[in-house]
Amino acid sequence: MNSISVTPIGMVHSTRAQARDDNWDAEQCYIELDKSRFSSDALAGLQDFSHVEVLFLMDRVDPEKIETGARHPRNNTD
């Protein structure tokens, strides 16, 4: 299998202090671009769009806790 590498262009900051598998919709977050690489005009015109796509890496998850199989969301069988 081929591999790819990514170079971060910023950081996502949120109000969540611990990685829990619940209530992600209640979080407030913001994205801070790397100021050494981007100036404020890198976002020029962004306000004219309704959505932005963000690719992110959950780098603080313990590898032992990563689930690779199917499961019910939030382990709720309903």
C-alpha to C-alpha distance for 24 and 58, rounded to whole angstroms: 13
Per-residue pLDDT of 10-33, as tens digits, reads 998 888 877 676 777 778 889 999
Q: pLDDT > 70: what percent of the chain?
A: 97
pTM over the 0.75 mark? no
Per-residue pLDDT of 33-43, as tens digits, reads 999 999 989 99
Per-residue pLDDT of 52-66, as tens digits, reads 898 888 777 788 888
Backbone angles phi and psi of 12, in degrees to 5: -95, 130
